[in-house]
Amino acid sequence: MSINVRDLNESEFFYGHKACAGCGGSLAVRIALKVLGERSVAVLPAGCMSAVGFNFPQLCFANNAIISTFAGTASMLTGIEAGLRAKGVSDFHAVGFAGDGGTADIGLQALSGAIDRNDNIIYICYDNEAYMNTGIQKSSLTPFGARTTTTPAGKNIRGNVKDKKNMFEIVAAHGIPYAATASIGYMNDFMNKVDKASRIHGTKYIHVMAPCPTGWGHEPCETVEIAKEAVDCGLWYLAEYEDSEYILNRNVKDFTDISQYLRKQSRFRHLRDEDIEYITKSRDAKWNEIRTKYKTV
């Protein structure tokens, strides 16, 4: 049974927020909450989604929602789940929405601990590939070549010199019950992964690619298309980890042009042909690995 747009909850749980026009992260939060419903207790660490959602007295969540410390998304989820369980409450979802910095950098230890204890929580990382709320600094999920304020594009070094960390595989390596990658450019896939996660007991992790027009330098109207293009050109992929097995959900046969994807975003505009060649080679190497290690459907 899969959910689609027609039977999606008509209530809005994230409304009137102050995210930039065309913000991909806010779309991910909005749709995930529509899938999970009213009895979700959401945890939002420091980052764009808490900054735009809670500006007293403008409080944009219709469900219970709380801001956590930057590092503490997973530990607060653990506490909420244990606390409500102790009070005899059972029909709820403890769900976290943390950025790439809040997940792959400062929040990694708390997340790793929660997975180790197999706490019954849903952790969603909305990945906009930098510390956006503080003005676009590099995180360990910023891709190679991207210009940020801490990885500027100059004469000698052209943006970020490091590769994007594979957070999905790091989480999966814990032996988590369920982990998935997703994209706001493939909304049905994302909705159904959130729905699936809500039915599994234990720790669930979903990593959703969510473009940020402000930090990536594209038009606000292009957010969804760019998210889709990242998947179509092979720089992002849709997969799951379940029952100790990796599953590739979308086996892209013919990639679209990487340079076309990169050129649409000002954060990559300085890249030279040799940089694009490096990015293409890295993509091909990763996909060779995926095609041997992952089960393809």
Ligand X SMILES: Cc1ncc(C[n+]2csc(CCOP(=O)(O)OP(=O)(O)O)c2C)c(N)n1
Residues near another protein (CB under 8 A): 5-6, 8, 10-19, 21-24, 26-27, 30-31, 38, 56-65, 184, 187, 219-225
**What minimum distance in Å lies between the beta carbon of 22 and another protein?**
4
What is the distance, to the nearest Å, from the Cα of residue 176 to the centroid of all Cα atoms in its chain? Answer: 17
Burial class (CB in 10 A: 0-12, 13-18, 19+), 138: buried
**What minimum distance in Å lies between the beta carbon of 194 and another protein?**
13
Which is closer to ligand SF4, CB of 30 or CB of 174?
Answer: 30
Which is closer to ligand SF4, CB of 42 or CB of 239?
Answer: 42
How far apart, in whole angstroms, are the C-alpha atoms of residue 160 and residue 121? 33
Among 134, 149, 251, 296, binds ligand X (CB under 6 A): 134
Site map (CB under 5 A) of Mg ion, residues 76-95, x = contact: --------------------
Among 54, 61, 97, 131, binds ligand X (CB under 6 A): 131
How far apart, in whole angstroms, are the C-alpha atoms of residue 30 and residue 25? 9
Backbone angles phi, psi at 114, to 5 degrees: -65, -40
Q: Report the amino acid identity of residue 186.
A: Y
- Select the span of 17-25, 77-85, 103-111, 180-188 touching ligand SF4 (CB under 6 A): 17-25
How far apart, in whole angstroms, are the C-alpha atoms of residue 63 and residue 40? 6
Which is closer to another protein, CB of 19 or CB of 262?
Answer: 19
Going along the chain, which residue ranges are E strands?
Answer: 40-45, 54-55, 58-59, 64-68, 93-99, 122-127, 178-183, 204-209, 239-242, 245-248, 295-296
Residue of this chain nearest to Mg ion (CB atom): 99
Instruction: Answer whether 122's CB lies under 8 Å from 78's CB.
Output: no
Six-digit token pair at 6?
């027609």
**What minimum distance in Å lies between the beta carbon of 139 and ligand X?**
5
211 binds Mg ion (CB under 5 A): no
**By CB under 6 A, what part of segment 42-71 binds ligand X?**
46-49, 70
Residue ranges in contact with Mg ion by CB under 5 A: 99-100, 128, 132
Q: In the complex, which residues of this chain contact ligand SF4 (CB under 6 A)?
A: 19-20, 23, 25, 48, 52, 128, 132-133, 212-215
